[in-house]
Amino acid sequence: VSKQDIRERIWDHMESQNLADFPRPVHHRIPNFKGAPHAAELLPRLQAFRTARTVKVNPDAPQRSARFLVLDSKKTLLVPTPRLRTGLFNKITPPPGASKADLRRCATSQGVRSHSVPVGLDSKVLVDLVVVGSVAVSEKGWRIGKGEGYADLEYAMMVSMGAVHEGTPVVTIVHDCQVVDIPEALLEDHDIMVDYILTPTRLIATGRERPQPAGITWSKISPEMMEKIPILRSLRRREEQAGKDVALRDVAGSQRAAPPGGVRRPQDPQGVARGSPLLAATVSVGNLPHDARVSDLKRALRELGLMPPRLTWQGPRRPALLHYQDPASAQQAVSCLQGLSLGASTVRVALAEQQRDR
């Protein structure tokens, strides 16, 4: 059993049993679920929430009600920036005299974008409570995310900047079906643990025994991730000046570079490795709208954090080609772009080699 096996099983179950909520399908996401607002209503029952002044909540759909409750309780709400491209946190600042309806709008993804100010490394922020999304979690507090490692990296960065410590409580909000047994052999040192699990029917105190990550494991970070996440470069300079080992992962060696937090992506299908390296790392995006422009595709790729180093535009009547640095990045793009709509069209996405084989 791998982490990806567990993810796929839960995603498939939530879709087949119609437990999922918008956006769907929930595959490759932190899944939203029916009953998420009801599960979030358990948050004020936690003493850790009642005494907290600053709460960090992830930006995913199932935690929307949690973000509202933080604002409605007059607490400071911090939300990570999407894929950490422009920094670590945004502080949500509702308009003066905001009504409950205003606060609910501020808790949406659009509201987070419209009513926020960046929080820099020098802000000396202290986070009293962390709310994360999960794909799976065990009653022992062991957690599995969607496989990109951003929650683990966010926590490690907060440790490095002094915003959280070992005793800072971590909460996740999930459907009951997402509470499963997770083999301890799957856990790694960089994996964030959970202290409380909120579901539509239960509040679970995990009593976790494993420690939280002690900071950024630089040997798990690739140079590619350093380029994508500017705040990582700033943190690395600080830790280097403090005399810490900040050597990055050697992408030239036999070991593949890991995504943020050191979480590995699913292994590439065997078919990818058979062809040329160029084709194996190239993604074809077809069925484009007849009036599509390359700027439309680039905008969608940037919003998803999937912009490749090189893009070949052949006009809207022919597939666009996305050239990535390695097959793992290409396979991740194929997974995340499934179901993407441009205009009135749903694009067709495949590895270029698979199209050639057909």
The residues spanned by each domain of the chain are 3-215, 281-351
Tell me what the mean pLDDT of segment 96-107 comes to: 93
Tell me what the mean pLDDT of segment 149-175 comes to: 92
Higher pLDDT, 206 or 356: 206
Instruction: List, for residues 241-296, the tens digit of each pLDDT value.
Output: 888 888 887 655 433 333 444 433 333 333 333 333 445 689 999 988 887 888 78
Tell me what the mean pLDDT of segment 300-304 comes to: 77
Report the alpha-carbon distance of residue 200 to residue 62 in Å, rounded. 12
Mean of all residue pLDDT scores within the chain: 85
Closest CA to 159 of 99, 208, 101, 214: 214
Higher pLDDT, 257 or 6: 6
Chain-centroid distance of CA 140 in Å reads 22
Give the architecture (CATH level 2) of 281-351: 2-Layer Sandwich (3.30)
Q: Is 270 exposed, middle or buried (0-12, 13-18, 19+ CB in 10 A)?
A: exposed
Min mean pLDDT across 56-70, 170-184, 222-236 is at: 222-236
Residue 147: pLDDT over 60: yes
Residue 112: pLDDT over 80: yes
Token digits of residue 195: 């202290």
| pLDDT attached to residue 72 | 96
Residue 163: pLDDT over 80: yes
Vertex 122 angle, CA 121 and 124, to 5°: 95
> 3-215 belongs to which homologous superfamily?
NagB/RpiA/CoA transferase-like (3.40.50.10420)
Report the alpha-carbon distance of residue 141 to residue 188 in Å, rounded. 13
CATH fold match for the domains 3-215 and 281-351: no
- Radius of gyration over alpha carbons of the chain, in Å? 21
| pLDDT attached to residue 119 | 85
Amino acid making up residue 35: G
